[in-house]
Amino acid sequence: MLRHFLAGLAFLCACVTADAQNPGLQTILQEHQEIIAKSSRKTIKPAIDAIASSGLPQAQEMLETWAAKDMWMRKSDGLFFAGKKGEGRTYELTDFDTGDVVGTFEKSELKQLKPNSGIRAMIGTALVQFQLTDPDRAKRLAALQSIQRDPEGVLLEPLRASIKDEPDAGLKAQKQRIERLLTIGYDESTAARVSAIEEISGDLSVDVRAALNPLVVTARKAAAVLPTDANIAVILEPGSEMLTRDQAYDLLVASDLAAPRVSAGDIRAALAANIEGGRVAGIPVAQLNDDATRARAYAALAEAGVVPALVTDIEINAALDTHVFFETYAEPSPEVTAAAARALEQIELKVGLNQTLDLTLDAISLGSIYFLAAIGLAITFGVMGVINMAHGEFIMMGAYTGYVVQQFIPDHTLSIIVAIPMAFAVTFAMGVAMERLVIRWLYARPLETLLATFGISIALQQLAKNIFGTQARPLTAPGWLDGAWVLNDVVSISYIRIAIFVLAMIFLGLFLYIMKRTRLGLEMRAVTQNPRMAGSMGINPGRVNMLTFGLGSGIAGIAGVAIGLFAKVTSDLGSDYIVQSFMTVVVGGVGNIWGALAGAGMIGFLQKGIEWMNPSNTLAAQTYMIIFIIIFIQFRPRGIIALKGRAAGD
Q: Is residue 337 part of a domain?
A: no
Q: How far apart are CA 240 and CA 237, in angstroms?
A: 6
- The answer to whether residues 266 and 179 belong to one domain is no
Judged by average pLDDT, the poorest of 201-205, 225-229, 509-513, 622-626 is: 622-626
Q: HSE on the CB side for 439, CA within 13 Å?
A: 28
3-class DSSP assignment, residue 443: coil
Amino acid at position 38, single letter = K
Mean pLDDT of all residues in 604-631 = 77
Among residues 121, 152, 180, which one ends one of the domains?
Answer: 121
Structure confidence by residue, pLDDT tens digits, 136-163: 898 889 888 888 888 888 788 888 888 9
pLDDT, averaged across the chain = 85
Question: What does the pLDDT look like over 346-392, one tens digit per residue?
Answer: 999 998 899 889 889 888 988 888 888 888 887 777 666 778 888 88
Res. 235 pLDDT band, cuts 50 70 90: very high
* Closest C-alpha to 423, from 543, 503, 361: 503
Query: CB of 112 within 8 A of CB of 102?
Result: no
The pLDDT value given to residue 591:
63
Q: pLDDT band at 12, cuts 50/70/90? A: very low
Q: Is the pLDDT of residue 45 over 80?
A: yes
What confidence score (pLDDT) does residue 606 get? 86
Q: Are residues 61 and 188 in the same domain?
A: no
Task: List the beta bridge partners of residue 600.
Answer: none
Least confident of 21-25, 338-342, 394-398, 428-432: 21-25
pLDDT value at position 382?
Answer: 63
Same domain, 497 and 508: yes
On whether both 433 and 569 belong to a single domain, the answer is yes
User: What's the farthest any 2 CA atoms get from each other in the chain?
Assistant: 122
Q: Is the confidence at residue 592, as pLDDT, over 60?
A: yes
Whether 502 and 516 share a structural domain: yes
Mean pLDDT of 243-250: 91
Instruction: Specify whether the CB–CB gap between 196 and 169 falls below 8 A.
Output: no
Note the pLDDT of residue 619: 66
Q: Distance (Å, rounded) from C-alpha 186 to C-alpha 177? A: 14
Q: Is the pLDDT of residue 648 over 80?
A: no
Q: How far apart are CA 60 and CA 82, in angstroms?
A: 13
Cβ-based neighbour number of residue 344 at 10 Å: 19
Same domain, 378 and 420: yes
**Is 336 part of a structural domain of the chain?**
no
Grade residue 13 by pLDDT with cuts at 50, 70 and 90: very low
Kindly state whether residue 342 falls inside one of the protein's structural domains: no
Query: Is 1's pLDDT higher than 80?
Result: no
- In this prediction, residues 628-643 reach a mean pLDDT of 79
Q: Residue 429 above 90 pLDDT?
A: yes
Domain count for the chain: 4
Has residue 462 got a pLDDT over 90?
yes
Q: Rounded CA gap, 136 and 141, in Å?
A: 9
Percent residues over pLDDT 70 in the chain: 93
DSSP 8-state assignment for residue 489: S
Examine the domain organization and report whether 527 and 593 are in the same domain: yes
What are the residues whose beta carbons fall under 8 Å from the beta carbon of 60, sequence distance 6 or more? 127, 130, 131
pLDDT of 618 over the 80 cut: no
pLDDT at residue 132 in the model: 87
CA–CA distance, 564 with 512 (Å, rounded to integer): 25
Q: Is residue 126 part of a domain?
A: no
Q: Residue 5 above 70 pLDDT? A: no
Asked if residue 541 lies in contact with residue 527, where contact means CB atoms within 8 angstroms, the answer is: yes
Domain boundary among 121, 144, 159: 121
Residue 15 confidence class, pLDDT cut points 50, 70, 90 = very low
* Whole-number pLDDT of residue 23: 62
**How large is the average pLDDT for residues 519-531?**
79
Q: What are the pLDDT digits (tens) for 274-303?
A: 888 888 888 888 888 888 888 888 888 888
Based on the domain organization, do 211 and 303 belong to the same domain?
A: no
Q: How sure is the predictor about 271, in pLDDT bands with cuts at 50, 70 and 90?
A: confident
Helix or strand or coil: residue 523? helix
> Does residue 628 lie within any of the structural domains?
yes
pLDDT at 216: 92
User: pTM score, two decimals?
Assistant: 0.68
- CA–CA separation, 524 and 533 (whole Å): 13
Residue 17 has pLDDT above 80, yes or no: no
Distance of alpha carbon 600 from alpha carbon 374, whole angstroms: 8
Q: What is the CATH number of the domain that holds 565?
A: 1.10.3470
* 108 and 172 together in one domain: no
pLDDT at 171 over 50: yes
Position 405 confidence tier, pLDDT thresholds 50, 70, 90 = very high
**What are the residues whose beta carbons fall under 8 Å from the beta carbon of 151, sequence distance 6 or more?**
178, 181, 182, 185, 186
Compute the distance between CA of residue 68 and CA of residue 382 in angstroms, rounded to an integer: 74
User: Can you give the residue range of the structural domain that contains 373?
Assistant: 351-649
Residues 239 and 312 both lie in one domain: yes
Residue 334, domain member (yes or no): no
Residue 602: name the closest of 619, 621, 578, 585 by CA: 585
The tens digit of pLDDT for each residue in 318-348 reads 999 999 999 999 899 999 999 999 999 999 9
Residues 6+ apart with CB under 8 A from 131: 60, 139, 140, 142, 143, 146
pLDDT tens, 173-220?
999 999 999 999 899 899 999 999 999 888 888 888 888 999 999 999
CB 385 within 8 A of CB 646: yes
Shared domain for 169 and 112, answered yes or no, is no
Q: Residue 96 falls within a domain, yes or no?
A: yes
CA distance 293 to 309: 16
82 bridge partner residues:
71, 94
Same domain as 149, residue 111: no
Of 174 and 591, the structure prediction assigns the larger pLDDT to 174
pLDDT exceeds 90 at position 425: yes
Give the pLDDT confidence score for residue 534 in this predicted structure. Answer: 80
Percent of all residues in the chain with a pLDDT value above 90, rounded to a whole number: 23
Among the three residues 264, 297, 329, which one is the final residue of a domain in this structure?
329
Instruction: Give the C-alpha distances (Å, rounded to integers) separating 549 from 394, 438, 440.
Output: 12, 12, 10
540 in a structural domain? yes
Q: Using one digit for the tens of pLDDT, what is the confidence trace for 475-503?
A: 888 888 888 888 888 888 888 888 888 88
What is the rounded CA–CA span in Å between residue 212 and residue 343? Answer: 8
Radius of gyration of the chain from its Cα atoms, rounded to whole angstroms? 39
